[in-house]
A = this chain, B = another copy of it.
Amino acid sequence: MRSSISEERNAEVGSGLMRADAFGPEARKAVYDAIHTRRDVRDQFQPDPLPDDVIRRLLEAAHAAPSVGFMQPWSFILLRSEETKRAAWEAFSKANAEAEAMFADGKRDLYRSLKLEGIRKAPLSIVVTCDPDRAGPVVLGRTHNPRMDVYSTVCAVQNLWLAARAEGVGVGWVSIFRDEDVRSLLGIPERIEIVAWLCIGYVRELYQEPELAVKGWRQRLNLEQLICEERWQDMP
C-alpha cells in the first residue's frame, strides 16, 4: 500500500500535471466580474498608500503572466516620490498639448475636457519595462515574431490590472508621453523597452462603462461584427 501511494506521488511529480477543472459558478463569476468591471482609472484614486503585501500580490500576478520561451522579460519600477511624479506629469502635459493639436476642431474641445492621467493623484506608479535580452539572443517562440517579448509584458500588465480590481485597487495606463522623457527621468537604458506607466491606488467608485463611452468620446462596438468564421471578412 505504501509503495503504491509513493508510486502515485512519483507519477504525479514526474508528469508535473495536476487536475484542472472548471471553476464553480461563484468562482467563475468572480473572474468575469474582475474582467467586466475593470476600468482605466484617472481620477478616482484615494490617497491612502498601498500596503506592501497588496503590492506584492499585484506584482506576483504580473509575474505569473505567460511569456514567450518563459523569458519573463518584465521589470517593475515602483515610484512614489513627489518629485518624480511632478516631472512625469510635466512630460505628460507637454505630450498632451501636442496630442490635442492633432485632433480636428470638432473633437478638440472634448479632448481638452477629458482627464487623461492620474499621475499626481495616485499614490503609486509602476513603470513596466521589457528587456529583449533577458533570455539571450535566440528565444523559443520569438524566432518568427520579434514582438512576442513585448506582448508577454503586456500580458503581465493585464494580470496586474485584474488582480488590482479584486483588491479594490484602481489602475490607469498612461501612454501620452515622449518615450525619451520617461527614459531620461528614470535612467532607463536604450536597449530596454518602456511598455507601460501605470497609476495605482485604492478606489471607492469606478465607471459602470469605460469613461470614454460615458463622456461621449466613443461607444462600445457590437461584438458580433468583430467575429468571423474560417477566413477573414472585412469588419467595421
Known A-B contacts A179-B145, A217-B70; A228 and B78 likewise in contact (beta carbons under 8 Å) = yes
**For residues 51 through 90 of chain A, which have their beta carbon under 8 Å from a beta carbon of chain B?**
57, 59-61, 63-66, 68-72, 74-81, 84
Complex formed: what's the CA distance from A33 to B79 in Å? 28
Please tell me if A235 contacts chain B, counting CB pairs below 8 Å.
yes
Interface residues of A, CB < 8 Å — how many? Answer: 124
Complex formed: what's the CA distance from A176 to B192 in Å? 24
* B64 and A176 contact, CB distance less than 8 A: no
Known A-B contacts A69-B212, A208-B18, A212-B69; A35 and B144 likewise in contact (beta carbons under 8 Å) = no
Task: List residues of chain B with CB within 8 A of the CB of A209.
Answer: 16
* A70 and B179 contact, CB distance less than 8 A: no
Complex formed: what's the CA distance from A218 to B168 in Å? 34
**For residues 161 through 220 of chain A, which have their beta carbon under 8 Å from a beta carbon of chain B?**
161-163, 165-170, 173, 175-179, 186-189, 192, 195-196, 203-214, 217-220
**Interface digits, A10-49 against B, CB 8 Å rule (1 contact, 0 not)?**
0000001111111100111111111111111000100000
Nearest-neighbor residue (CB-CB) of A63 within chain B: B223
* A187 and B16 contact, CB distance less than 8 A: no
21 cross-chain CB contacts under 8 A: A17-B207, A20-B170, A22-B166, A27-B30, A28-B166, A63-B221, A63-B226, A66-B161, A68-B175, A70-B217, A75-B226, A77-B229, A78-B228, A80-B229, A103-B138, A129-B232, A140-B212, A143-B176, A144-B178, A151-B154, A162-B162
